[in-house]
Amino acid sequence: MTLSETPVPASTPRTRAKARHILDNYFIGPARDASVLEIWGYTDRMTYAPGDRLALRVSTTAEHWDLEIGRDGARYEPLHSDTGIAGMHQVTPEDCSVAGCGWDVSYEFTIPDDWREGGYLVSMTAERDGDQVEEHHLFLLRRADDKPPAPYVLICATGTWLAYNCWGGSNHYEGITGPDRNAFSPVVSTQRPWTRGFCKLPEGAPRAVPDTPHKPGTMVRYPYMEWAYAYGYSKKYASAGWASYERHFAVWAEEQGFEFDFATQHDLEADPELLKRYKCAVFVGHDEYWSANMRDAVDRYTASGGRVARFGGNFLWQTRIEDEGRTQICYKYTAEQDPLVGSDQEHLVTTAWEVAPANRPGAQTFGVNGLKGVYTGLGRCVGQGSGGFTVYRPDHWALTGTQLGYGDQLGAASRIFGYEVDGVDYRMEDGLPFATGADGADPALEIVAMGLATNIEPTHGVWGETAYIADADAQFKARALFGEVTPETLDRSSRGNGAIVHWHRGEGEVFTAGTCEWVMGLTRRDWQVEQVTCNVLVRFGVSGRAR
């Protein structure tokens, strides 16, 4: 060591204790320091059509940057690139997560007419003094209106992407808003980059549900948060985004030859009649946040004969979309602060669907809801569960060809059951679950398979461990369902389930496999999960009523 070098402080138990914990709030965002090499970008819209002008807003501290746009399908296809684009270091307001970045357009491009529908990855790279950074953005490309529609449309869960996007500091969970700069934001903007890991992830990035069940006697761990912290990705990368969820489905469906068009929930908000073009609408992954308009669009669609396949979980919060789609509102646990409280629009207050003044049970749309379900396979929350659904009605058409019998596990090998699941209120009779209808579900719906979930992470006193999920969710549920939090209501609010259900809704049909991780059954080639998915898509798409 030479004397001019500054010694690095040693890591001791005392100094380490001051370091941030993987469970703390940390976020991705601009350094606001020209000496730090960085590049970030976003587009005004989430969806484009061939022929549209795409305007990319990029901020970089490098003098020049390079761009590649490619279709992120079964095989990645690079389709457009440019190099040596002049860099601009743009001013990012402190409240960018809430009000948007307001950056100038740095690159414009007309999307060629022959680009196919799908997810398009925008890769931006910059170099300085031998150092290189690479960040990503993503947009969906829909079919041109003059092409015949695909039988299926995948509606990406952009309400949930936005809710979890930590870029700039704040999302619907944690944040830097409020007088102490430590509060979540009930208002989030689309006009900012997606956080690291939402658009592209390396192979092997851990899922929220670990690959193996929790080993008793060992400390509880959350490998995805450890990985995110270690490699500089968003703490929420495994919770939302194209790379963690929709992409897995899109790739599998393309490989199987199912013809899909692509849209976002925000497209549903702007164009409620969009679904009419398709025989079947598909929702996958972590799909937690919906506006009333988005729900209305799905309800009208099924009422008039549309088929809905939901291989996703956590249908919970009502949102509002404002400012022509640029702003999403969700007050959640602080819904009493929603400005619509006491107004003639009180039914649009952003709280859980089942709770006053929303009072619109989620089960009426999808047969299951988030309040009856929630954590499983996450940390100690059913951490020693099988990872699959228990089959109750093996003769249901959706299980044709799966070789599954009563009591068998569906998807345990591929760990599809978690990390948040949607449940149904049920009673058992002669070894079979029946919907009670108490939660708004149609009592005629069939429960094909089920598993257990919890709202409170148990602790077993293993030395050295810190649990992630305390009882905040159970407290909310206790207040919502029983009006008060007592040891008894907390206990009654702690238990949930995740279910696979099917029923006829109006002229249409709904199939829901209420779990975020269903897509892992496809990517991991769990043939029984693939068979169920095919059974549903074939019935809903091929034999579906022409629309």
Per CB under 5 A, residues contacting Fe ion are 288, 314, 420
* Class of residue 170 by CB neighbours under 10 A (exposed 0-12, middle 13-18, buried 19+): buried
Whole-number minimum distance, CB 156 to Fe ion, in Å?
16
Whole-number minimum distance, CB 71 to Fe ion, in Å?
29
Q: In angstroms, what CA-CA distances link 32 with 93, 132, 190, 282?
A: 10, 18, 20, 40
For residues 418 and 544, which CB has a smaller minimum distance to Fe ion in the complex? Answer: 418
Half-sphere exposure of 300 (CA within 13 A, CB side): 13
Q: What are phi and psi of 363, to 5 degrees?
A: -65, -20
Whole-number minimum distance, CB 313 to Fe ion, in Å?
8
Whole-number minimum distance, CB 420 to Fe ion, in Å?
5
For residues 269 and 420, which CB has a smaller minimum distance to Fe ion in the complex? Answer: 420
Q: Measuring CA to CA, which residue among 460, 470, 469 is closest to residue 218?
A: 460
For residues 151 and 362, which CB has a smaller minimum distance to Fe ion in the complex? Answer: 362
Whole-number minimum distance, CB 287 to Fe ion, in Å?
9
Whole-number minimum distance, CB 421 to Fe ion, in Å?
10
Whole-number minimum distance, CB 317 to Fe ion, in Å?
9
Whole-number minimum distance, CB 457 to Fe ion, in Å?
15
419 preceded by a cis bond (ω within 30 of 0): yes
Name, in order, each residue with C-beta under 8 angstroms of 346's C-beta and a sequence gap of 6 or more.
340, 357
For residues 195 and 302, which CB has a smaller minimum distance to Fe ion in the complex? Answer: 195
357 preceded by a cis bond (ω within 30 of 0): yes
Measured torsion, CA atoms of residues 188, 189, 192, 195, in degrees rounded to the nearest 10: 30
Q: Measuring CA to CA, which residue among 382, 515, 516 is closest to residue 457?
A: 382
Name, in order, each residue with C-beta under 8 angstroms of 477's C-beta and a sequence gap of 6 or more.
371, 455, 493
Helices in 340-494 by DSSP H: which ranges?
Answer: 363-366, 472-482, 487-492
Whole-number minimum distance, CB 310 to Fe ion, in Å?
15
CA–CA–CA angle 438, 443, 449 (5° rounding): 100
Half-sphere exposure of 288 (CA within 13 A, CB side): 25
Name the helix (H) or strand (E) containing 158: helix 158-164
Residues across the chain: 547
Residue type, 229: Y
For residues 264 and 314, which CB has a smaller minimum distance to Fe ion in the complex? Answer: 314
Name the helix (H) or strand (E) containing 80: strand 76-86
3-state class of 418 per DSSP?
Answer: coil
Rounded CA-CA distance 65/54 in Å is 18
Whole-number minimum distance, CB 500 to Fe ion, in Å?
19
For residues 261 and 473, which CB has a smaller minimum distance to Fe ion in the complex? Answer: 473
For residues 135 and 420, which CB has a smaller minimum distance to Fe ion in the complex? Answer: 420
For residues 288 and 299, which CB has a smaller minimum distance to Fe ion in the complex? Answer: 288
Whole-number minimum distance, CB 419 to Fe ion, in Å?
8
Task: Answer whether 307's CB lies under 8 Å from 327's CB.
Answer: no
For residues 26 and 173, which CB has a smaller minimum distance to Fe ion in the complex? Answer: 173
For residues 65 and 222, which CB has a smaller minimum distance to Fe ion in the complex? Answer: 222
For residues 314 and 533, which CB has a smaller minimum distance to Fe ion in the complex? Answer: 314
Rounded CA-CA distance 27/66 in Å is 25
Whole-number minimum distance, CB 358 to Fe ion, in Å?
17
Sign of CA dihedral 4, 37, 71, 96: positive
For residues 174 and 420, which CB has a smaller minimum distance to Fe ion in the complex? Answer: 420
For residues 157 and 253, which CB has a smaller minimum distance to Fe ion in the complex? Answer: 157
Q: List the beta bridge partners of residue 154.
A: 262, 282
Whole-number minimum distance, CB 455 to Fe ion, in Å?
12
Helices in 76-155 by DSSP H: which ranges?
Answer: 96-99
Unique residue bearing structure tokens 């808003």: 177
CA–CA–CA angle 427, 428, 432 (5° rounding): 125
Rounded CA-CA distance 433/498 in Å is 12
